[in-house]
Each structure stands twice: as structure tokens, then as C-alpha cells.
Structure 1
């Protein structure tokens, strides 16, 4: 039997989890502080409504997806694992490192699965990019930069960095396999005291550098991750159609008579299997719950993402 999953939080992203879990045959219940909202989803997807306070002791639920405002994630994930439920927690998993550490430790103590919703780790184009890097197709990775820009959404608790950057930080950490030794942040607040633009500069022990730019006040959408190696460069551009989402540039750069010379080559577009990242993420979660295996996006990774966000946060009066 498939694990029986409940979704706590029926907002924008919670509704995506609800629809996807229903399509996978694993949706057992929905829950929200706004019961009328939960009842609407329950009626649409033919499942039960459970009040939040009753959810954790419900014997018909094996695991809970937490898609709440981030200030509630740590508290509810601790309640869930202590009640014997596995959890998938949306990003950010907490608003500070200490709360995230408490939640991850609580899951370990309870022997429950704690997975984080870093959904782009399950994007087929990123998976193919990671395979190219692991196969040394790009050579030694020297530089990574990511741009995640667009208009909205605006949150009262999260600035642009905390809302948008976790996706890219998760991918960057997956590529580097280690945490940065230095983080520097810059931000600009135009609407209120929360940054609407954010830059992160990271340095790693092996000399690799990385730069991240996030904005929620940009006139156009950009979803691009660029990896520069000493043999080739690759770009994962999620705004492009599937046949152009992953491009490899085999430019050549060399020294000639003391001067730098280069040859710019046209990109090679890598074939990528089409697939919805959220579906693949939830399939992975179900598999981990069934098999007791370690999730690809673990609590330890989420803690490291929060450490970077904290180090790069710029406060505004």
C-alpha cells in the first residue's frame, strides 16, 4: 500500500501538493486553519478534512506535507514526528538555524523521515546537469552563478533572499558537495524593510566561487543556473522550452604568445526527459517513506541553506 499522506496548509503551494498527491493515489486528508478552504479542496479531491490540532494523532495518516507560512514549519514538524508521522517540509523550513536544528533532531530522535521541499533538485534538467558534472564533462567546476528574477510574490515574513534563494542554494550545494567558507550578502528594500533585491557571494575552500541574484521586483522572469568548468560551461534555463532547457557551451580559451585567445562555439542542447519536478519530488518522498531510505533533500541540507541565508541577510530600518 502507498503511504497515506495529509497536506497541512491549503494555500498556493499546498494546493499543488494536494493535486499532485491525488494524482499519485496517496492523498488521505487535507487540513488548514481555514476549515472552509480545506473543505473546498476535500470536496474537489474526494478526501477527508482533518482539523490541524487533530491531524497528528490521526492513525489513518502516515506522513504530512507541511506547506505553511515558514514561521510555523519548525513547530508543526516537531509535533508531527513526535506523533510518529514522516514529514516533507516546504522551504524555508524555519526562520532561524536553531529552530531548524531542533526540528531535524526531533525527527532523528523519533526515527521519522524529514525531507525538504527543494523541488528543483528533482527537475529533469538539473538531474541531467548534475550527471554531466559528475561525469567530468565540464571539467573542474570553477564558478556557479544563478539568477532567479520576477515580479512578486510579496510576503510579510520573507524577503526576496529567503523566499527565492533556497531553490538555487540547494542546487549549488548539490554541485559543490560542501558548504561555503565565506558568504557575503547585499540587498535593497524598495517597498518596506524587507529586501526586494538580493545578491549572495560565496567562496568555497577549493577556490570555487558562486554568485546568486534574486529579485521579486524585476520586469521579466529569469530562472537560470550557469556552471563554468575548465572544459565546458553549462546553462540550465527553466524559462526555455524543454528542448533548450539545458545547454552546453564548449568554448575554448588559451594563451597565445602571452595573450589570452578564445573560440566561442554554438551551444549543444542536451536532451532532457520531460517531467514535473513536484511529481518527481513527491514520488521520491513516497519511496523514502516506504523503503526507509534517506531523502535526496535532507534536513542537514536545509540547515546549511539556512546558515547561508542567515549569513547573507541584510537588515533594513
Structure 2
């Protein structure tokens, strides 16, 4: 029997989790501070509506997916794991590293699964990109840059950096396999005191460099991750159709009589299997609940991402 999972928070991401878990046969209940909203989703999906105050101690709930405003994630996660529930917490899992560490420690101390919603780690194009890198097809990775741009999703507590960058940072950390030695950040607030634009500059061991640009005030959408290696370059562009989401460029660059020269080639588009990243993420959560194995995106990864976000925020606030 599939684990009985409740979704806490029926907003944009919560509603996505509700529909996805229902399709996987694992949705047991929904809950929200807005009882009418939760009751509507419960009736629509044919599952229980459980009031928030009763959710954490409900004997038939095995796990809780939390899609709350981030300032409430850590407290709710601690309450859940201390009551024996496994948790999947949407990003960011907290607004401070100490809060995140407390939530992850509570899960560990109580023998509970703690997963974070870094959904792009489950995108088949990224999985294939990571496979190519590990197999040496790009050579030694020298530079990684990501652009995540769009219009909208304005929050009262977290800015463009905290809202948009976690997914990209999770992918960059998976590629480098280590945390950066240096983080430099620049931000710009246009609408109010929260940054609408954010740049992060990252330096990793081995002189690997990274750059991230996030914007919520952009007239067009861009979802692109580029990896530059010594043998080839690869681009994961999530705005492209499936057959063009992952491209490899085998350019050649060399020195001739002290001058740099290069040749360019047409991209090779890598065949990837189609699949919804959120479905694959929820499947990983279900498997972790059933097997008690750590999920791909666990609490320790979430803490590493928060450290970078915090360092970047401090840096650009000083700027």
C-alpha cells in the first residue's frame, strides 16, 4: 500500500503536489489555514480535509508535503517529524541557516525522512547532463552559468534570489560536488525593498567558476543552464521543446602563433526521456518513505543551498 501523504498548503505549489500525489495514488488528505480552500481541494480529489491543528498528530497520516510561506517551513517541519511524520518541504526550507539546521536535525533525531523540493534535480534533461559530465564527455568542467528570468511571483518575505535561485544552485552543487569557496552577490530592488534582480558569482575548488542571474522583472522567460568544459559545452534550456532541451557543442579552441583560434560546430541534441519533474520528485519521496533510503534532495543539500543564498544576500546588501 502506498504511504498516506497529506499536503499542507493549498497555494500554487501545494495544488501541484495535490494533483501529482493523487495521480500516484498517495494523496490521503489536504490541509490549509483557509479551511474552505482545503475543503474544496479535498472534495475535488476525493480525499480527507484535515484541520491544520489536527494534521500533525493524525494517526493515519504517514508523511506531509509542506508548501507554505518559507517563514513557516522550519517550525512546521519540526512539529511534523517529532510526531513521527516524514516530510517533503518546498524550497526554501527556511529563511535562516540555523532554522534549517534545526529542522533537519529534528528529522535525523526522530528517524524521519527529510526531503526538499529542488524539483529540477529530477528533470530528465538535467539527469542526462549530469550523466554526460560524470562520463567525461565535456572534459573538465571550468564554468557554469544559469539564467532564470521571468515576470511575476512577487512575495512579501523572499526576493528574486531566494525565490528563483534555489533550483539552479541545487543543480550547480550537484555538478561541482562541493560548496563554493567564495560567494559574491549583487541585487537590485525596483518595486520595494526586496531585490527583483540578483547576480551571484561563485568560485569553487579547482578554480571552477559559476554565475547565476535571477530576475522577476523580465519581459521574457528564460530557464537556461550552461556548462563549459575543456572538451565541449552543454546547454540545458527548459524553454525548448523536448527534442532540443539538451544540446552539446563540440567547439574547438587552440592557440596559433600566440593567437587564440576556434572552430564552431552545430549543436548535437541529446535524446532524453520525457517525464514531469514533479512527478519524479514525488515518486522519489514515496520510495524514500517505503525504503527508508535518503532522497536525492535531502536536508543537507537544502542547508548547503541556504548557506549560498545567505552569503549572496549579505554580499549584495553590502553593495
Same fold at TM > 0.5: yes
Q: Distance in 1 between matches of 2:301 and 2:291?
A: 21
Contact 1:189/1:316 (CA < 8 Å) preserved in 2?
no
By how many angstroms is 1:109 displaced? Answer: 0.2
Partner of 2:213: 213
Partner of 1:315: 317
Q: Distance in 1 between matches of 2:288 and 2:144?
A: 30
Q: Distance in 1 between matches of 2:201 and 2:109?
A: 35
Partner of 1:6: 6
Q: Distance in 2 between matches of 1:171 and 1:279?
A: 18
Partner of 1:46: 46
Partner of 1:183: 183
Partner of 1:288: 288
> 1:79-135 CA distances to partner (integer Å, 9 max, x unpaired)?
000000000000000000000000000000000000000000000000000000010
TM-score by length of structure 1 reads 0.99
Structure 2 SS opposite 1:278: helix
Partner of 1:102: 102
Structure 2 SS opposite 1:30: strand
TM-score by length of structure 2 reads 0.98
Structure 1 SS opposite 2:202: strand
By how many angstroms is 1:26 displaced? Answer: 0.3
Distance 1:50 1:316, change over 3 A: farther
By how many angstroms is 1:316 displaced? Answer: 8.8
Q: Distance in 1 between matches of 2:134 and 2:60?
A: 41
CA root-mean-square deviation: 0.9
Q: Distance in 2 between matches of 1:299 and 1:286?
A: 16
By how many angstroms is 1:315 displaced? Answer: 3.3
Q: Distance in 1 between matches of 2:274 and 2:87?
A: 27
Q: Distance in 1 between matches of 2:154 and 2:252?
A: 42
Q: Distance in 2 between matches of 1:231 and 1:59?
A: 55
Contact 1:152/1:216 (CA < 8 Å) preserved in 2?
yes
1:278 aligns with 2:284: no
Contact 1:194/1:316 (CA < 8 Å) preserved in 2?
no
1:236 aligns with 2:231: no
Q: Distance in 1 between matches of 2:295 and 2:59?
A: 24
- Residues 242-261 of structure 1 correspond to what in structure 2 (within 5 A)? 242-261=242-261
Partner of 2:224: 224
By how many angstroms is 1:53 displaced? Answer: 1.0
By how many angstroms is 1:303 displaced? Answer: 0.4
Structure 2 SS opposite 1:65: strand
- Residues 69-80 of structure 1 correspond to what in structure 2 (within 5 A)? 69-80=69-80
Structure 1 SS opposite 2:207: coil
Partner of 2:118: 118
Q: Distance in 2 between matches of 1:137 and 1:4?
A: 42
By how many angstroms is 1:199 displaced? Answer: 0.1
Partner of 1:31: 31
Structure 1 SS opposite 2:156: coil
Partner of 1:173: 173
By how many angstroms is 1:8 displaced? Answer: 0.2
By how many angstroms is 1:206 displaced? Answer: 1.1
Segments of structure 2 that go 5 or more residues without pairing to the other structure are none
Structure 2 SS opposite 1:180: coil
Contact 1:139/1:231 (CA < 8 Å) preserved in 2?
yes
Structure 2 SS opposite 1:206: helix
